[in-house]
Amino acid sequence: MQQKNQQTAIVIASYGNQCKIETTDNEILTAKSLKTAGKPLCGDHVLYKTEANNETVITDILPRNNTLSRLNNLNPKPKQIAANIDQMIIVISVDHDIKFGLIDRYLVAAMFSGFKPIIVLNKIDKINNEELDAIKQSMKMYSDIDIPMYFISAKMQSGIDTLLSVAANKTNIVVGQSGVGKSSIVNAILPEMPALTKEISDSTSKGKHTTTTAFLYHIPDNGQLIDSPGIREFGLWNINKKELAQGFKEIQKFSEQCKFRDCLHINEPGCAITKAVKAQQINPQRYNSYLSILETLE
């Protein structure tokens, strides 16, 4: 219950128990989280109070709608990245090899966590029209399952207005490999970053262009944009083998026709998925992604 001396704020960056919070008066404070409150995440709504010694403490984390978490090879425990997300902006750079497997993992995570995924292909200024067409062709499996796709250049400010309208009125998290242009997109979208916010985000980054922790920015029209650190792997957790198909829209659709209800769509008799792959109704690359994720699950 909210007490008299408590107020609400949003966590704009979390470093474990130490956080930057933004109050309802748009004041940015450094706050420590009480052990009893737990570890706040970027995007959390919290209650805080000011102690007699003028320190700001977070006393409660308000209930979360969802969280984005991932596994990596080094740590058996999932790492939580941010909370209360509406939309996941998956950023790809058109001048790198596209890691389709990584996109598929993000899509599964979005599906299970309940946020809407969109794909943004950045750096179109670096390629010609033929190359652009080839990329559109290779991404067709995502438009086929109705994932919105945007081709932009953060550098040339091309496509930014559209992206801004897509991100309005929502909390968005920007994800993707290091170097694809996540921070550049955030900077392009932010019209005039409030000096204070900029200072904080700069001082919390180790290198000039590295984002070391998720950071929340306000954007016009009631939106929020969370810049997240670049990652090489994105391990899924908390999903069992049987559930995985739910993260692949087209596989889910055909799975009702499988002979066995507990079909994992590997090589079971009467499997509608393996049949649909052969008939080119399901993209083989997506199916292979499914199989390789399946191997990693309990």
What does 224 bind: Mg ion, ligand GDP, Zn ion, none (CB cut-off 5 to 8 Å by kind)? Answer: none
Give the shortest CB-215-to-Mg ion separation in angstroms. Answer: 9
* Token pair 């748009």: residue: 26
What does 265 bind: ligand GDP, Mg ion, Zn ion, none (CB cut-off 5 to 8 Å by kind)? Answer: Zn ion
Quick check: 251 binds Zn ion (CB under 5 A)?
no
What residue type is 58 in one-letter code? I
Answer for which of 108, 154, 164, 219 binds ligand GDP (CB under 6 A) is 154
Quick check: 99 binds ligand GDP (CB under 6 A)?
no
Q: State which of positions 176-215 bind Mg ion (CB under 5 A).
A: 182-183, 211
Size of the site for ligand GDP (CB under 6 A): 18
Q: Are 46 and 2 in contact (CB under 8 A)?
A: no
What does 131 bind: ligand GDP, Zn ion, Mg ion, none (CB cut-off 5 to 8 Å by kind)? Answer: none
Distant-in-sequence, close-in-space partners of 282: CB < 8 Å, separation ≥ 6 = 250, 251, 254, 273, 276
Short-list 256, 257, 234, 31, CA closest to 113: 234
Quick check: 247 binds ligand GDP (CB under 6 A)?
no
- The CA–CA distances, whole Å, from 202 to 65, 66, 111, 148, 219 equal 29, 28, 32, 31, 18
- Within 10 Å of residue 204's Cβ, how many Cβ atoms? 14
Answer for which of 45, 105, 123, 265 binds Zn ion (CB under 5 A) is 265
Q: State which of positions 180-199 bind ligand GDP (CB under 6 A).
A: 180-184
What does 170 bind: Zn ion, ligand GDP, Mg ion, none (CB cut-off 5 to 8 Å by kind)? Answer: none
Q: Are 141 and 283 in contact (CB under 8 A)?
A: yes
Answer for which of 172, 201, 211, 224 binds ligand GDP (CB under 6 A) is 211
> In the sheet that 87-93 helps form, which strands lie side by side, from edge to edge?
149-151, 116-122, 87-93, 171-175, 223-227, 215-219
Please, is 1 exposed, middle or buried when counting C-beta atoms within 10 Å of its C-beta (0-12, 13-18, 19+)?
A: exposed
Query: Cα–Cα distance between 41 and 64 in angstroms, integer?
Result: 10
Name the residue whose CB lies closest to Mg ion.
Answer: 183
Q: State which of positions 238-267 bind Mg ion (CB under 5 A).
A: none
Q: Which residues bind Mg ion (CB under 5 A)?
A: 182-183, 211
Q: Which residues bind Zn ion (CB under 5 A)?
A: 258, 263, 265, 271, 273
